[in-house]
Amino acid sequence: MARTRTHTSRTNSNTQAAPLADSRAPVSPEMHPSRGEAKAKFEQILEQTHMPFDTKADNMARELSRDSELLSALNPAEKGRLIQILGSGMTGEADQKAINNILGSANNKAEFFGMVQMAGGPQRLNDTLFNPKQQREFRFMLDKFTYDTGPANSPQRAQAKQAFEAVKDAYARLSDEKKRDRTILVIEGARERCRQERAFKLSKGVDPDTLPPEEEALQKEVAKTFAQNEMKRRDVEEHNRVQQQRERDQAAEAEKKEADEKLFEKQWNTDDRRGARVGMWQDFQDDKKRSANVKRQRTAVNFKREEKQESKKKYGEWDRESWRRDWK
């Protein structure tokens, strides 16, 4: 069945044109211009599924999944049935990509999760049907339809932002002629080191079969070089950040110390505190004079000469001066 096409007739200049419908608004599958063709192809696929050991239905379903216009003319139940057909039996890369294409044609959250449930649920799709590459695409769509508040609350927001910043930095680096030339030199230097290391190993009798492919080794060496340069750059940035923070802390501490000294000097020189200090010093002088007079009086009244007391001899000690006292 040929795909129906809509033609617009040429209107008279005096006739007012009807307002155009919003192209972003999804059209109902039943009202879609290609509904007849999409329905016919879907029924052909269903007929082929009854043929045992026939892969024609899978081929037709994969072909239909690549046509976005016909997909938009199918209702959610028909799309879910296509996913069931593609997910039955052994699934290859083409089948997994076709399933993701069908899931990506969903117009809203309800339609997407309806198709996912018809295919066996998100757990089966993620763990059983999809390889790692298709798993990432499926999880992206799952997050897209799960979080209605926008990309800011998506759990992969940090990774997406990091990837965007990396692409933005690479674009800025390659747009600058000097940075581009420096990047080319880094790549050429890394590849040359890898070739020299490989040639050295071969000269020492290493079996070439034990070495990784040359192109793979070159790519790893280039990636390793860029990673090392990035780590060095981050270390320098961290060192500069710590140094700047230390200088800011020292400046803030010096400002605080100066402010405290000014405040202390201001409070120290107030009239009230100055008068209090003078009065305390005068009181101290008066107390010192009175205490000195009392001490002298006490010493004169209670004076008593100290008498020398002979210390007791220790056992075995001999008094060498006893003969002089005895002689006298």
Q: Indicate if 48 and 148 belong to the same structural domain.
A: yes
Q: Indicate if 200 and 86 belong to the same structural domain.
A: no
pLDDT tens, residue by residue, 151-178: 565 566 677 777 777 777 777 777 788 8
Mean pLDDT lowest for which of 8-12, 120-124, 172-176, 189-193? 8-12
pLDDT at 247: 93
Sorting pLDDT into bands at 50, 70 and 90, what band is 147?
Answer: low
* 46 belongs to a structural domain: yes
Domain end, chosen from 140, 155, 170, is at 155
pLDDT surpassing 60 at residue 266? yes
Q: Which amino acid is at 152?
A: A
* 19 belongs to a structural domain: no
* 23 belongs to a structural domain: no
Domain end, chosen from 155, 170, 199, is at 155
Give 326 or 111, the one with higher predicted confidence: 111
Give the number of domains in the chain.
2
pLDDT surpassing 80 at residue 224? yes
> What's the per-residue H, E or C state across the chain?
CCCCCCCCCCCCCCCCCCCCCCCCCCCCHHHCCCHHHHHHHHHHHHHHHCCCCCCHHHHHHHHHHCCHHHHCCCCHHHHHHHHHHHHCCCCCHHHHHHHHHHHHCCCCHHHHHHHHHHCCCHHHHHHHHCCHHHHHHHHHHHHHHHCCCCHHHCCCHHHHHHHHHHHHHHHHHHHCHHHHHHHHHHHHHHHHHHHHHHHHHHHCCCCHHHCCCHHHHHHHHHHHHHHHHHHHHHHHHHHHHHHHHHHHHHHHHHHHHHHHHHHHHHHHCCHHHHHHHHHHHHHHHHHHHHHHHHHHHHHHHCCCCCCCCCCCCCCCCCCCCHHHHHHC
pLDDT at 9: 39
Give 314 or 262, the one with higher predicted confidence: 262
CA distance 310 to 288: 39
Domain end, chosen from 155, 189, 224, is at 155
pLDDT tens, residue by residue, 188-210: 888 898 899 888 888 888 888 88
pTM score, two decimals?
0.38
Sorting pLDDT into bands at 50, 70 and 90, what band is 1?
Answer: very low
Q: Indicate if 112 and 194 belong to the same structural domain.
A: no
* 204 belongs to a structural domain: yes
* 172 belongs to a structural domain: no
Which of 70-84, 246-260, 276-290 has the largest mean confidence?
A: 246-260
Q: Which amino acid is at 6?
A: T
Q: Indicate if 45 and 146 belong to the same structural domain.
A: yes
Of the candidates 215, 214, 233, the residue with the CA atom closest to the CA atom of residue 225: 233
Sorting pLDDT into bands at 50, 70 and 90, what band is 249?
Answer: very high
* 236 belongs to a structural domain: yes
Q: Which two tokens stand for residue 127?
A: 């763990």
pLDDT at 288: 63
* 162 belongs to a structural domain: no
pLDDT at 10: 38
pLDDT at 16: 41
* Average pLDDT value over all residues in the chain: 75
The contacts of residue 11 (CB under 8 Å, 6+ apart) are: 17
pLDDT tens, residue by residue, 18-71: 344 444 455 677 778 888 888 888 888 887 776 665 677 778 888 888 888 888
Q: Residue 67 CB: number of other CB atoms within 10 A? A: 16
Mean pLDDT lowest for which of 73-77, 83-87, 258-262, 291-295? 291-295
* 14 belongs to a structural domain: no
Which of 4-8, 40-44, 246-250 has the largest mean confidence?
A: 246-250
What is the domain range of residue 266? 178-287
pLDDT surpassing 50 at residue 96? yes
